[in-house]
Structure 1
Amino acid sequence: MRFFILLILIFTTTTASAAQKISIGETFTLHSKIIGEDRPLSVFIPKGVEKNESLYVIYLLDSQHHFHTVTGIVQSLVDYDQIPKTMVVGVETTNRPRDYLPAINGEPKTQFQKFKRSKWPDEGQTNFIKFLNDELFPFIDDKYPTYPHRTLIGHSNAGTFALSALFNHPNLFQNYLAISANGWWSYDETVHNAKSMADKNRSNKRLFISVAGEGSTFYTGTLNLLSNMETHKPTNLAWQYKQYPNHTHMSGILPAVTDGLTFLYTNYQFEITPALAKYSTVSALKDYYADLSKQYGFAVPAPVGTYVDFAEAQQNNKRSQEAIITLKQFVADYPKHSYSHMKLAQAYALLDQHEKSLNSYLQGLKVAKEQKLSADIIDAFQDMVDRAQAKLNANAKSL
């Protein structure tokens, strides 16, 4: 993987030309009959996604403030195989209290609830939930190839919405990233929601929750929630909490999104333990993603880098033949990926199997041309082919 990234860094460097505008994503306007207004949307698809390739989906609230930050982080995490290929759907908000804050049951119990009742006495989040489920999700799923796997990112009041959605509408998302959630709503509701999560047998969910250095109810409310979740262990919920005391309410978004997405997609990563590297075959990797596919309800492909890391771990344990088998599986699963053929060719070369190495380089060159990769990358593959041919010729002469 590192070698391939090096190739990309080298071969995508071009001579400076006339200035061009850089655009990130697409923008749409979706009219919501449920809310009765137009909703601005921004959609980002990471570089490197092939046509008709299915994507995981992140729904980002308050995208008018956070879209560029989050999409930059997502692109970097995708590039380095920390998360799967994931698109970002940014939803701009026109009325945050109306859309995000839960309805108040009975009399207000906190100063925050009293303020909301005085300013927006009839507003809750019911229509926004319905907008997401009935209008936005179908719009995105019809327009793009998506997996049935959604992650929600919410900050401040939108973080409160993310927690409320987890407690009260658990079928909407699989992952929840709640950053500096406002309070929590009230202590009574905290206890009630924690108990309800423990009582219900839900499908597997993951939650990352954070606060920055805001103090006050941002901190105490979050700790109250977490302590109650520890007391009433939620069923099928994995969660992680982090505090960023040296960050402000706004700057805490950057580390929280990076750490949060890495945690939320932790099970996407196949952990290569020393025992697996020393004793196991590629079947362990395949079985892991087969089990994950059953859990998610759709086929989860093993990441490209996982095959390479596993093969290198096997090679480091002097298991070169097992590494060849792993890389053959890599080629079988990614036949249209020139990188898979290159890595197999390199493994053959380590065993002085130069004819097989040459054939794999030739196949990689063919795929690179079919994929219409850049001229520099194709030229690099041609150099690899030439060197492999020269090595094969030299060996033939020495016989």
Structure 2
Amino acid sequence: MKNQLLSLVICMLVNTSFFYSLAQSNQDNLLRIGTKDSIYSEILTENRQIWVQVPESAKIATNHPKTYPVVYILDGRVHFLSICAVLNQLAPDTVPEMIVVGIENSENRTRDLTPTKVKEARGSSDWVQDSGGGEKFTDFIAKELIPYIDKKYPTTSHKTLIGHSFAGLLVVNTVLNHPELFANYIAIDPSLWWDNEVLNSKLAERLSDKKYKGKSLFLSMANPLPPDTEKDLNVLVKDTTFRTEGLRATYNFTKIASETKSSTLQFSYKYYENENHGTVPLISIYDGMYSLFPWYKMNSRFVDVLRNPGADAEAVKKAFNERYKLLSKHLGYTIYPEEDLLNNLGYMFMSNDPKKSFLFFTMLIESYPKNANGYDSMSDYYISQEDIKNAIKYVEIAYKISGDNYHKEKLSNLKKK
């Protein structure tokens, strides 16, 4: 036990030193998130600013083209860093790595994000004179921005749209009227009070349409009252004053969406009693992203097969095939088992279950045939089996790919045996 504990401590110290050195040598890179880009819109007849973050793994050479799902977030100047931070925390174990596209909406926000034109809202007419441009702005996203991003960046067809407040209103309008544009939607404390709750009108009838099949919406609600007052949602929705207008409208949407049994939309929502309209975005983004990909996490059946010493290599292979077939189906493109996962499992089983070890290294080579790593690991497997002939064979392949002195020296040493 002492030796195990010592090894663990040493491992932690080594990793800490490594990451500290990495931080020291890449200080500038650590502070840089995303790049600024722009696109001229013929639909809007104006230039639009965007921010784009591509996962670091895109820079790593691999056998398969590195392509990623895309998250589009409205009010990009405000929320771009938040979604990048959430993905940094959750990917790639809980959600897939994704490209982030932040869309600027600081100017003409009411125009771009409201789905209908109104003469007056909340006692004033001046600020809503240009309202109702939401459909036009959606056209810009669908017909100009998405094609531009797909052409310039390594994207897949799987897309998510996120918006807060008026932007959340546009998200709900998009999922109701243009569900084909995105697979997932996150509406953060959306302004569903707009135009006398126009989006709640005939909502149950709309949701019965089968075009929402395979689409997911996560919606959040914040507490509109001061923190030292009422928090109970059931009490708040009975309040008829102006202060709870937004909450009541959003609650009406959640009630209808939840109770429409014929709906094919995968809908979930959460009320944050301790968050207000301004503080709710970050936690909503985290919870929303977490909830939208339940099928991505390793389920207990998959893990149990790996842990079960009685499960043979064929059972393990079947579990892997089922998992990655499921991921590929949901995301719409082929997903391969992670290289490090296969490699680590191969070494883990090398001493006590050689058949499983051989399986994982075989899968590693099949998934990443142009990488030297799998062939080098397979040579170690054959060394453990005292099969020097095959060990040499696989090191030769690894050396041919990498040209590294490590493989050259390893090959030389093996030939001396």
Provide TM-score, normalisation by structure 1. Answer: 0.75
> 1:209: which partner in 2?
219
Structure 2 unmatched ranges of 5 or more:
1-7, 226-243
> 2:385: which partner in 1?
353
For the residue of structure 1 that corresponds to 2:286, the secondary structure is helix
Computed over aligned residues only, the root mean square deviation of the Cα atoms, in angstroms, reads: 4.3
Task: Return the match for 1:196 from 185, 197, 206.
Answer: 206
Task: Check whether the contact 2:72–2:101 (CA below 8 A) recurs between aligned residues.
Answer: yes
Whole-angstrom CA distance in 2 between matches of 1:89 and 1:163: 19
Whole-angstrom CA distance in 1 between matches of 2:145 and 2:332: 22
TM-aligned CA deviation for residue 60 of structure 1: 1.2
> 1:333: which partner in 2?
367
Task: Check whether the contact 1:342–1:360 (CA below 8 A) recurs between aligned residues.
Answer: no
TM-aligned CA deviation for residue 56 of structure 1: 0.9
TM-aligned CA deviation for residue 300 of structure 1: 3.2
> 1:300: which partner in 2?
335
Whole-angstrom CA distance in 2 between matches of 1:365 and 1:7: 27
Whole-angstrom CA distance in 2 between matches of 1:237 and 1:27: 34
Task: Check whether the contact 1:286–1:302 (CA below 8 A) recurs between aligned residues.
Answer: no
One-letter amino acid of the structure 2 residue matched with residue 24 of structure 1: I
Task: Return the match for 1:88 from 78, 95, 100.
Answer: 100
Task: Check whether the contact 2:208–2:262 (CA below 8 A) recurs between aligned residues.
Answer: yes
TM-aligned CA deviation for residue 369 of structure 1: 5.2
The 1:252/1:121 distance shift into structure 2, 3 A limit, reads: closer
The 1:276/1:24 distance shift into structure 2, 3 A limit, reads: same
Task: Check whether the contact 1:57–1:87 (CA below 8 A) recurs between aligned residues.
Answer: yes
Q: Is the aligned partner of 1:264 residue 2:296?
A: no
One-letter amino acid of the structure 1 residue matched with residue 249 of structure 2: G
Task: Return the match for 2:47 from 15, 34, 38.
Answer: 38
> 2:86: which partner in 1?
73
> 1:375: which partner in 2?
none
Task: Return the match for 2:71 from 58, 65, 68.
Answer: 58
For the residue of structure 2 that corresponds to 1:23, the secondary structure is coil
TM-aligned CA deviation for residue 170 of structure 1: 0.7
Structure 1 unmatched ranges of 5 or more:
373-377
For the residue of structure 1 that corresponds to 2:160, the secondary structure is strand
One-letter amino acid of the structure 2 residue matched with residue 66 of structure 1: H
Task: Check whether the contact 2:210–2:264 (CA below 8 A) recurs between aligned residues.
Answer: no
Cα deviation 1:341-389 (Å, max 9, x = unaligned)? 687788x49x95366897799589859957x9xxxxx98x999x79xx8
For the residue of structure 1 that corresponds to 2:190, the secondary structure is coil
The 1:320/1:270 distance shift into structure 2, 3 A limit, reads: farther
For the residue of structure 2 that corresponds to 1:266, the secondary structure is coil
The 1:131/1:362 distance shift into structure 2, 3 A limit, reads: same
One-letter amino acid of the structure 1 residue matched with residue 97 of structure 2: K
Whole-angstrom CA distance in 2 between matches of 1:257 and 1:367: 46
Task: Check whether the contact 1:336–1:367 (CA below 8 A) recurs between aligned residues.
Answer: no
TM-aligned CA deviation for residue 75 of structure 1: 2.6
Q: Is the aligned partner of 1:177 residue 2:211?
A: no
Count residues in correspondence.
373
One-letter amino acid of the structure 2 residue matched with residue 29 of structure 1: S
Task: Check whether the contact 2:71–2:159 (CA below 8 A) recurs between aligned residues.
Answer: yes
Worse-superposed segment, 204-213 or 279-288? 279-288
For the residue of structure 2 that corresponds to 1:267, the secondary structure is coil
The 1:141/1:311 distance shift into structure 2, 3 A limit, reads: same
Whole-angstrom CA distance in 1 between matches of 2:289 and 2:336: 18
> 1:154: which partner in 2?
163
Q: Is the aligned partner of 1:47 residue 2:56?
A: yes
Task: Return the match for 1:130 from 107, 118, 139.
Answer: 139
One-letter amino acid of the structure 2 residue matched with residue 67 of structure 1: F
Task: Check whether the contact 1:55–1:85 (CA below 8 A) recurs between aligned residues.
Answer: yes
Task: Check whether the contact 1:175–1:264 (CA below 8 A) recurs between aligned residues.
Answer: yes
Please identify the structure whose Cα radius of gyration is greater: 2
Task: Check whether the contact 2:188–2:281 (CA below 8 A) recurs between aligned residues.
Answer: yes
TM-aligned CA deviation for residue 135 of structure 1: 0.9
Whole-angstrom CA distance in 2 between matches of 1:184 and 1:364: 65
TM-aligned CA deviation for residue 173 of structure 1: 0.7
Provide TM-score, normalisation by structure 2. Answer: 0.73
Worse-superposed segment, 36-45 or 19-28? 19-28
TM-aligned CA deviation for residue 158 of structure 1: 0.8
Q: Is the aligned partner of 1:250 residue 2:278?
A: yes
